[in-house]
Structure 1
């Protein structure tokens, strides 16, 4: 029961909130008043740091007792509208008071932020219950939008009853009259008043801890979240989110012979998607100037500059220039476009490494995951088709879709190690995800299409001893349709090469022995992971390269040449190869900090495709991908390769 002192305190708190809103958010309140629809729910975003500066004691009270203070904050927002409406001449005749205004608290970035403000979902304890809690995670399940019975009037002295979200989704009739008079009412029978029911939008989602933040061996935990009113349908499965709300406990379903427990649940006050935010963080102007100065320095020797960037990719692995170039081009990708029929042609590239054990495939996978703002790493042996795409789960008598690895990696990178360990059925499920970048689902009556704009980076061992005389599909046991979807397939064969073995062994011994200090200067010149991530993101966002006539001629001639000589590589030489050449040429132009695809970019794309073929169409133009190293004069080396390739392609054109 509420006493007169409590009522007085509440009025003072409402007054303090109102003064804060008028002084800091008057323009936003004015726009809400001028909005035409009085039945909509309007969010009013408040930065917690501003409230902390305005009234520290009130901010701390809100933080410690949000369930009590947040409704008062909403009431203050309604009172502020009355103050603004006192001057109707400035507003016009369309202005009206909106009763459905919800104050949303953005805690992130405030001075109050502490380890307890963003606890790991797995570390939530009883002490967090009832405070204003902020959690980070990834949405793995998004429930259907429903209507919840939110308010009902009952007759005795006419009082409102609200549902207990912890107990269920329906209002239970009261057992006693909450009279505020001096004498308590002994009434026990209450009849609901007709047409007094108020319903709100309601949705349940589930968020899971980000796997990148967990240590090895930790199982990611999840927690259900309740969204209401304007927050519903804001996020979908796969989104990274920061959610501020009140932690409560929900009774688990009362099943026979099952202990009834309290499960933690977060009643959301504010939801913020961080998909775009995470990728845009950390590219200040001085870093962009560094990129521009870098290319200005290497203006006369651009390929030397490119190689300086590539040396930062997986620096612990010696050499493997071709693989590092392929990883960089795959992560940067080409430009998505729409053809004349309205079909989207993907811009993301896919890469497959086929190699003997000990060739560094898994190291490249893990390093590529670090360079991507959003990544999921899995292995073929531990993945099923449901785990990669989506799975249908039953929750509370209702079927829902739970996102798999490819959906969670939407807009990022999906690394699949031990690709050959996947069952043939499971491999077939990713065909659509790789080319059309969607996943069509028809499970448990749920028919839908989900987006998977992701880069697939696979690694696999050959089937037994690799036989160069056999087709790639025979050596890898991967089907032709799947192989054709990979832009680059690099074969890393651990052949005996005494010279290469001597160089590699001396490099590894130098890194671990007394000569390690001599490598400090070399390490200082390597780009850091943060710098590489920023560079890749900046290149993807700011460059949309266009093909020149010279580059088109090279790509077209090479594609025709490959089609003629396609004996062992029939699975790879499809029209998709032409699209792959264009994507790789555009990616190389982005890597070179340009908005135009030149002949150099086209020939670099040709060399990448040549490396991914078991038999070379342009004889002796490329060597082994495993034994490829960084040359001292890459620009001079390129000039020789360019001459050789152009002569060969020129011969083809003359033959026609």
Structure 2
């Protein structure tokens, strides 16, 4: 057998010397000889170098990957002869060749299947799977190999564990050493002390992404075994691409449970793709299209903004305020750190409270299409983990199972029926929305998971909406939870005959005078792929900074709300009083930055600040300082939005002017006292 392996081993060693000498040199100079070191190998490059050997490694990975590891040790011994005595060079015995198949011919349907399409034909070959980590087990240790010595001829045989039968180490069946023309067939062996090598061991479970599945398909999952340097590099909620060997493992012998063969992937290479999920390839011609669009609307920028907003849920007539809120929520602000180093989130949260039939769920589904990573669920949660995370017992071991907020890390989490969430989710979602982490201490598992996600919630009011009652009473949601939403829009289905006539004409398409205009509007609507690219482009390339003028407007409005909340404490709605905190100021900044990004700018002007104020005013149904906002459900696109904005700006600045005079007097008084 060794003679047969000598040829492939020599070819592997020659390839490593020619293409990976730098990696091997750094491994040789590493100080700790007990660590396990990865040696990353590009399979496409290896296939160009030696196609027959690459095919053998692909078709028989269990045997030949071990041969590759031993070739790496052999090359180290050769290279160590060229080092000087003072270089502290040493041969590392635990080197593992990690094969990266990205961009290689292995990225084909046969070797890169979805988890739900794994079959018997994939058994024993090098396989690549893509999915999301939904469970991560504890790190354990197991015996990776040990030596047995033949009592008759003293030949040593190395034994590896059988992962198919719960990692047991079997004794050799017989000695295969050849003595001349005879073979020693002794069955008597003794264990050689000190030859046991232990490995780190961790089991995770990955699930195929719901974005790549069709409607009605159930996402499948598969356990993955991580060993040595691969352990603890991924956590629940991470998107990963795993390359490994598919084996069939006997299921645990539980009472009243049939013992079956379950597919398990032994990982050879794991790549996290969380960093790549915000990168969407945007060609230069599309970027030029964006720039030319804003050049055409240079004189009427708000008309250009409304043209973009018409592409959000075009099947729903009107609802300008909701579409603007959805766009600002998806774009979000800029994350920054305060003086103490505490990070202030840049993601915005939106809550739609409305009567049935107002289009809340349609906005949720459309927003999920606009986001590169999204999870749609209900308040009860789609799994036992619910919205946050839970500890589950699998095969006698406690594991963490990620919920919707953790799986949507870095993307969008759409939660319908927001008021029906479980009690343990209510206690945890406060931290998940503001600090963007979830701290867990369950079943001895103490950890913190990341939830950098946008929360888009929708809920129905409890019974008939009563404008005289606070929002917390109408929705059965607590004030602290409502204060974490940047925008809370109330969509009341009031009986307005004029609005009903316009909506029915739009839906039925029977209004002949408006038909030509309707077709023209449809032609000007941004398509979904272009709108998705635009949102990701402005999020990635613009980091707006507040101008002095915008700071003055936002500060004055915040002071006005604080004063009104203090002076009218007996008359103000409790929900609004809970919102007039520093969180409102941070929400104003985030919304103003999001509007600047939407307008293709890198600075926040007074227009962006006033638009942010109008969004906040829309969510204050009882104590708004601007009375002309009206019902968000009946808000429509105006023909001349720039002229309409001038009226709103004059109205808001007129309300804020007493605050400006008051602050100027304080500044003069402060300078005089000095």
Short-chain TM bin: over 0.9
Question: Where do 1:92-107 residues align within 5 Å?
Answer: 93-107=87-101
CA distance in 1, matches of 2:526, 2:510: 18
Measured after TM superposition, the shift of residue 555 of structure 1 is 1.3
Kindly report which structure 2 residues correspond to 1:463-542, keeping only aligned pairs within 5 A, or say none. Answer: 463-510=462-509, 522-542=521-541
The answer to whether the 8 A contact 1:621-1:645 is kept is no
By how many angstroms is 1:654 displaced?
4.2
User: Is there any run of 5+ residues in structure 2 with no aligned partner, and where?
Assistant: 566-571, 664-674
Q: CA deviation at 1:187?
A: 3.2
The aligned residue for residue 628 of structure 1 is 635
8 A contact 1:565–1:617 mirrored in 2: no
2:403 alignment partner in structure 1: 404
C-alpha distance in 2 between matches for 1:80 and 1:334: 52
Supply the distance in 2 between the matched residues of 1:537 and 1:576 (Cα, whole angstroms): 26
Query: Displacement, 1:525?
Result: 3.4
Rounded to whole Å, the distance in 2 between the matches of 1:386 and 1:329 is: 30
Q: For residues 97-127 of structure 1, what are the alpha-carbon distances to aligned partners after superposition, in whole Å with 9 as ceiling and x for unaligned?
A: 4332222222232234322222221221111
Q: 2:110 — aligned with what?
A: 116
- Any idea what SS the aligned residue of 1:11 has? helix
Report if aligned partners of 2:544, 2:597 keep a CA contact under 8 Å in 1: yes
Residue 338 of structure 1: CA displacement?
2.5
Q: Which residue of 1 aligns with 2:603?
A: 596
Q: Is the 8 A contact 2:380 2:386 kept in 1?
A: no
Contact 2:131 2:240 in 1 (8 A): yes
Query: Cα offset for 1:292?
Result: 3.2
Structure 1 distance, partners of 2:512, 2:378, is 34
- Answer yes or no: is the 8 Å Cα contact 1:161–1:174 preserved in 2: yes
TM-score, normalising length: structure 1: 0.92
TM-score scaled by length of structure 2: 0.90
| Post-superposition CA distance 1:168-220 (Å, at most 9, x none) | 23423334334355534343332222221111222111111112222333322
Partner of 1:63 in structure 2?
A: 58
Contact 1:561 1:617 in 2 (8 A): no
Relative to structure 1, is the Cα distance of residues 23 and 315 closer, same or farther in structure 2, using a 3 angstrom cutoff? farther
- Alignment partner, residue 642 of structure 1: 649
Asked if structure 1 preserves the Cα contact closer than 8 Å seen for 2:147 and 2:156, the reply is yes
- 2:147 equivalent to 1:140: no
* 2:162 equivalent in structure 1: 164
Q: Residue 140 of structure 1: CA displacement?
A: 0.8
| Contact 1:243–1:268 (CA under 8 A) maintained in structure 2 | yes
Distance change (3 Å), C-alpha of 1:51 and 1:348: same
**CA distances 1:474-494 after superposition (whole Å, capped 9, x unpaired):** 221211111111110001112
* 1:145 Cα offset (Å): 1.8
d(CA) in 2 for partners of 1:286, 1:110: 29
By how many angstroms is 1:368 displaced?
A: 1.1
Q: 1:146 to 1:425 in 2, by over 3 A?
A: closer
**In structure 2, the residue corresponding to 1:570 is in which secondary structure?**
helix
Cα RMSD of the aligned pairs, angstroms, is: 2.7
Shift of 1:129: 0.4
Report the more deviating stretch, 46-55 or 17-26: 17-26
Q: Do 1:473 and 1:483's aligned partners in 2 also have CA atoms closer than 8 Å?
A: yes
Tell me the distance in 1 between the aligned counterparts of 2:522 and 2:15.
53
Range that drifts further, 592-601 or 403-412: 592-601
Alpha carbons of structure 1 residues 423 and 104: separation in structure 2 relative to 1, 3 Å:
closer
Q: Which stretch of the first structure deviates more once superposed, 515-524 or 537-546?
A: 515-524
Shift of 1:167: 1.2
3-state SS, counterpart of residue 413 of structure 2:
strand
Q: Distance in 1 between matches of 2:277 and 2:551?
A: 36
**In 1: Cα distance, 2:161 partner to 2:373 partner:** 39
**2:666 maps to what in 1?**
none
Gaps of 5+ in 1: none
- Residue 221 of structure 1: how far off its partner (Å): 1.6
Secondary structure class of the residue paired with 1:199: strand
CA contact (8 A) 1:148 1:170 kept: no
Match of 1:575 among 582, 599, 606: 582
Pairwise CA distance, 1:583: 1.4
Which aligned pairs between 1:193-212 and structure 2 lie closer than 5 A? Answer: 193-212=192-211
The question of whether the paired residues in 2 share the 8 Å contact of 1:138 and 1:238 is answered with yes
- The equivalent of 1:615 in structure 2 is 622
Whether the aligned pair in 1 keeps the contact of 2:626 and 2:651 (CA below 8 Å) is no
The answer to whether the 8 A contact 2:29-2:87 is kept is: no
